[in-house]
Structure 1
Amino acid sequence: MIELDNRTSLQIDIGIVEKIADFLTKKEIELIITDSQEMREINKTHRNIDKDTDVLSFPYEDMPMCPLGSIVISSFYVEEKAKELGHSQNDEFALLFIHGLLHLLGYDHEVDSGEMREKEAELIRKFNLPQSLIVRTEGNI
């Protein structure tokens, strides 16, 4: 189950992200859509990085009945990347959601040996999403 907090005017159909979440976990997920300014503030506060970003994940303590965590997605990046890469905002949103959800599930592309990228590719194929997440992240492994 996804608890959506959309703090922007971005109109997203969360049906696909609900399917992705249900496929990977039965735990509740808080999903926040915000603007670049708030995303920058969150990134600075929690990661000490003073710039905006596309997606952030905040896992909760693993306890029974506790939500899995929070995913924060920037509406600016959804709009810009969708336009730049020529796919829908819903597809871009789903790609960022996958990335954030895998972080909540313990994947970490910054330290693993490609497992997160492989899981992203698997989910992108399964849910028939554009391959652009793979292409744009391969150079950042």
Structure 2
Amino acid sequence: MIELDNRTEKHYEFSRLETIVASLSDREIELILTDNDEIAQINREFRGIDKATDVLSFPSDPFPGAPLGSIVISVDKVASVAAELGHGEEEELALLFIHGVLHLMGYDHEVDEGQMRAKEEELIERFALPKSLIVRTLEE
């Protein structure tokens, strides 16, 4: 289940995201939709990186009944990347959401040996989405 905190004027259909999370976990996920200014502030505070990013993940400490964690997504980045790559904003949102959920589940593409990329590709195919964040980054 997704607990939504939409801090923007954007409105998306979340049924695909609910289906995605249900295929991966039975734990609740907080999804925060924000803009570039706020995500830059969060990125600076928690990662020491002074710029906007597309998605951030914050796993919860494990205890019985705990949510899996929180995912923060910039709707500004969703819109700009979707326009740049020629697919819909809801597809881009789903890609970023998958990326965030996998991080909450313990995957880390910066240190693993391709496991996160493989899992992302599997989910992208299952949910008929365009290229993933990791795949796009590796192609650059």
Structure 2, gaps ≥5 residues long: none
Inter-partner Cα distance in structure 2 for 1:67 and 1:132:
25
Inter-partner Cα distance in structure 1 for 2:133 and 2:36:
20
Q: Is the 8 A contact 1:57 1:69 kept in 2?
A: yes
Inter-partner Cα distance in structure 1 for 2:67 and 2:19:
17
Q: Is the 8 A contact 1:37 1:52 kept in 2?
A: yes
Name the % identity: 59
The answer to whether the aligner puts 1:94 opposite 2:102 as a matched pair is: no
Inter-partner Cα distance in structure 2 for 1:103 and 1:135:
15
Give the secondary-structure state (helix, strand or coil) at the position aligned to 1:113: coil
Q: Cα distance, 1:11 vs. partner?
A: 1.6
Q: Is the 8 A contact 1:85 1:132 kept in 2?
A: no
Inter-partner Cα distance in structure 1 for 2:3 and 2:72:
12
Q: Cα distance, 1:134 vs. partner?
A: 4.8
Give the secondary-structure state (helix, strand or coil) at the position aligned to 1:123: helix
What are the residue-to-residue correspondences of 1:1-141 with 2, within 5 Å? 1-139=1-139
Give the secondary-structure state (helix, strand or coil) at the position aligned to 2:5: strand
Query: For each residue in 1:27-86, what CA deviation from the matched residue of structure 2 results, as whole angstroms up to 9, or x when unmatched?
Result: 000000000000000000000111110000000011110100000000111000110111
What amino acid maps onto 1:112 in structure 2? Answer: D
Q: Is the 8 A contact 1:78 1:89 kept in 2?
A: yes
Structure 1, gaps ≥5 residues long: none
Inter-partner Cα distance in structure 2 for 1:112 and 1:134:
12
Q: Cα distance, 1:133 vs. partner?
A: 3.1
Q: Is the 8 A contact 2:57 2:69 kept in 1?
A: yes
Q: Cα distance, 1:132 vs. partner?
A: 4.9
Q: TM (normalized to structure 1)? A: 0.96
What amino acid maps onto 1:7 in structure 2? Answer: R
Following TM superposition, the consecutive aligned residue runs of length 4 or more in structure 1 with deviations greater than 4 angstroms are none
Inter-partner Cα distance in structure 2 for 1:46 and 1:104:
16
Q: Cα distance, 1:131 vs. partner?
A: 2.0
Inter-partner Cα distance in structure 2 for 1:112 and 1:132:
16
What amino acid maps onto 1:42 in structure 2? Answer: I
Q: Cα distance, 1:90 vs. partner?
A: 0.4
Residue range with higher mean Cα deviation, 9-18 or 23-32: 9-18
